[in-house]
């Protein structure tokens, strides 16, 4: 049995294979937003870039992409999937954001408490740096988990069973915190299985407070239940919001 602090090799590969549709939905939405605003080139900073799905899509459209993530295994996948993007291992709480036409944080990246400073205070600082880095008309596109993310249940259990792996999830929600305890059984080349355990802690945001923070920073804000017209299998049915925060042009 092995234990990885956050998105180790097995969890990173499964997330890319099984849950990557959300990042692709976000990339499609982002491309439409940028083109509609005449921002057809420039840098996109992807906070919590994961396996590089959004980075690859936006690189293919001609954008320069900086992908920031705290997981070495996710960054290794990003290097394979988005070779034109620039990866950087760093907590998004501290990340220096270059001048950008867009900044993204897909897949509840702002919720994760891997960095003990995570929460509304840290997000306030990140939001200010994002605003300063964005070009006029640029967009801060992200999603967050909110109360009710556990589908209204205090405890929820689920099993994802595939040919070469099985993922068992036990999620517990309190007022402003969601704990996900994940056990993965991966089949090795010799047919035996390796067990890996991870514990993911996320802060749940009050969407009204988050909207107020964005507005106070200077953003124009829209909220959505999904990434526009795109709603893949990984789009949560409840306790989740997409934010489109735009830096005004004047």
Residue 2 reports pLDDT greater than 70: no
* pLDDT digits 0-9 by tens, 110-165: 999 877 777 788 899 999 999 999 999 999 999 999 999 999 999 999 999 988 99
Residues forming beta bridges with residue 166, ordered by sequence position: 161, 185
The pLDDT tens digits of the residues spanning 171-216 come to 999 989 999 999 999 988 888 889 999 999 999 999 999 999 999 9
23-78 pLDDT per residue, tens: 999 999 999 999 999 999 999 999 999 999 999 999 999 999 999 999 999 999 99
Domain ranges of the chain: 2-148+206-246, 155-202
Concatenating the DSSP letter of every residue in 58-80 gives: HHHTT-EEEEEES-HHHHHHHHH
Kindly tell me the burial class for residue 43, based on how many C-beta atoms sit within 10 Å of its own C-beta (0-12, 13-18, 19 or more). buried
Which CATH number fits the domain 2-148+206-246, given the four candidates 3.40.50.150, 3.40.50.300, 2.60.40.420, 3.30.230.10? 3.40.50.150
Give one DSSP letter per residue of 170-199, joined into a string. EEEE-SSEEEEEEEEEEE-TTS-EEEEEEE
Number of neighbours of residue 207 by Cβ within 10 angstroms: 16
Candidates 3.30.930.10, 3.30.830.10, 2.20.25.110, 1.10.3720.10; correct CATH number of 155-202? 2.20.25.110
d(CA 28, CA 31): 5
């Amino acid at each position: 049995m092995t234990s990885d602090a956050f998105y180790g090799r097995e969890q990173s590969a499964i997330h890319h294979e099984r849950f990557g549709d959300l990042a692709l939905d976000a990339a499609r939405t982002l491309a439409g937003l940028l083109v509609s605003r005449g921002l057809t080139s420039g840098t996109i900073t992807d906070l919590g870039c994961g396996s590089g799905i959004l980075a690859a899509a936006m690189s293919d459209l001609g954008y320069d992409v900086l992908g920031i993530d705290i997981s070495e295994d996710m960054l290794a996948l990003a290097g394979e999937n988005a070779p034109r993007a620039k990866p950087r291992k760093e907590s998004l709480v501290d990340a220096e954001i270059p001048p950008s036409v867009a900044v993204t944080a897909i897949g509840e990246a702002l919720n994760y408490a891997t960095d003990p400073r995570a929460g509304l205070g840290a997000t306030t600082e990140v939001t200010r740096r994002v605003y300063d880095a964005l070009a006029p008309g640029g967009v801060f596109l992200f999603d967050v988990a909110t109360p009710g993310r556990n589908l209204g249940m205090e405890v929820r259990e689920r099993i994802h069973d595939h040919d070469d792996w099985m993922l068992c999830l036990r999620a517990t929600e309190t007022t402003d915190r969601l704990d996900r305890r994940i056990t993965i059984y991966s089949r090795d080349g010799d047919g035996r299985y390796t067990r890996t355990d991870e514990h993911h802690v996320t802060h749940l945001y009050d969407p009204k407070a988050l909207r107020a923070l964005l507005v106070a920073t200077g953003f124009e804000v829209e909220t959505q239940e999904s990434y526009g017209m795109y709603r893949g299998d990984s789009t949560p049915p409840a306790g989740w919001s997409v934010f489109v925060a735009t830096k005004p042009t004047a």
